[in-house]
Structure 1
Amino acid sequence: MGNRNRMRVVLAFGGFDPTGGAGVLMDSRAAAAAGVHACAVVSCLTVQTTASFSRFASVPRDVLDESLAAAEKSFRLRAVKVGMVGTRAAAEAILSFVAAHRDLPLVVDPVLRSSSGAPLLSPSALPAYRLLLRRASVLTPNLSEAEKLLDRRIDTFADAAEAARELSDLTGASVVLKGGHFPWRGRRGTDIVFSGGRTTLLPAIGARRGDPHGTGCALAAAIAARIGAGDAVVPAVQAAKSLLSKLVAGAFPSAEGRPTLFP
């Protein structure tokens, strides 16, 4: 029991990427780098490489429920990070879990499509997923995910800042609009944080090196780790960005020529 109470532990709920470059394997590594242990529940199994996505397969609802209960029983959880959900069963399982643990900060990275454009959320999962978004403490969409959530284009940096505020108004969550895909000159890598009624701009740290597989997963997991360790939202994002810049600086080309964050 003493070990349960002393450890800082976050729960990562997301897809299993066989390359280890994204999903809960990346979440675990990023959380560890941020000084926090991550236990993981796999929402679905994916078939992908560092450059392409093929398909995903569901995990039965009873397995999800029992796995979530096992994680909660084993540790005193400090935060929950949700990445790819995939199926209705997974959306309903994690929604039920967070509804029963309202005191836990919830970071949701709205993984809706793969980088190659494949849909990663079944239409039948949408009702539960919408409710999950409204329970989030922090949302971490990238530009295309924010456009999908708001069902409109975001054409300027000023519009992106307004979109972060709008998403916060819709969900009640703090919003970190990730800038890694921003097309505007001088703004790529600048994250827009809307929290507590205020907008904070966090510029890129260091030079970018490609677009490593799994950076979005790593950033959201590191944010959850720092919030689980007691940081407020903006300091948590600042610490996560600093950590991510160090990981990206150490990235190396994969066998397919695309950078990865870890050997």
Structure 2
Amino acid sequence: MTSSLTLNPVTENKVDTCHEIMYPQGEFWSDEPPLETYQHLQQIIILLKSLQWLWQDKQDYFCAGNLTIYYSPNQKKSEYFRGPDFFVVLNTTNDETRKSWVVWEEGGKYPNVIVEILSDSTAKFDRDGKKAIYQDIFRTPDYFWFDPFTLEFQGFTLISGTYQPIKANEKGWLYSEQLELYLGLHEGKLRYFTPNGELVATPEESAMEERQQAQIERQQKELAKQQAQIERQQKELALQEIAQLKEKLKQLGINLDEII
């Protein structure tokens, strides 16, 4: 959805001194514009938090939203860099103190998965320009885009150097070999699903589910307690009725205990 600052490289015989600023080593700050709508923010947060929750025991990955990726060792303001709405890098350190993702400082690693959240102002470039960059320069294996308003959702996987559409399953979900998860729609949001078809929950959803489960268990215990009390009362009532019957029979000269 977002488009990071993209300026044309300096043309021959033209030097824009305002933009010929080298970035100091180790000071590559993210330079992304604000997200366009609250729906875009919500979607990125869901992708980020649910994956982090699912992989809470993993430390060999990094995921981020709306963070700049620098990929030129001689980075200048006039050179290209990209800011995916959401991306995942595998087989790296899960260091959340990163100010940006600097490819040459990360062993040459590019994202394994990128998701762009479409908007009116960036949709065409996300479908064409960014797709070409992610295919030809980043070589990112899995690329997805999603429109939070129209619910347009497509995914591509890199095969022999070219993005090929990912075939949807019967539920319309697209499988990411990199994440080993499906991506698909759930209540108007792009969500992850396990290979078994289970929705990958956010921490808040998991907490709510735990509270609901605890409430159900409390209700079941209370019901079992009430059932046991009813059974005791029924047993006591039955004993009382037997005692009353014996008493009546005694009055008639019949000793039920002797008969039994």
TM-score, length-scaled by structure 2: 0.33
Determine which structure has the larger helix proportion and give its number. Answer: 1
Determine which structure has greater relative contact order: mean sequence separation of CA pairs < 8 Å that are 6+ residues apart, divided by chain length. Answer: 1
Max Rg structure: 2
TM-score, length-scaled by structure 1: 0.32
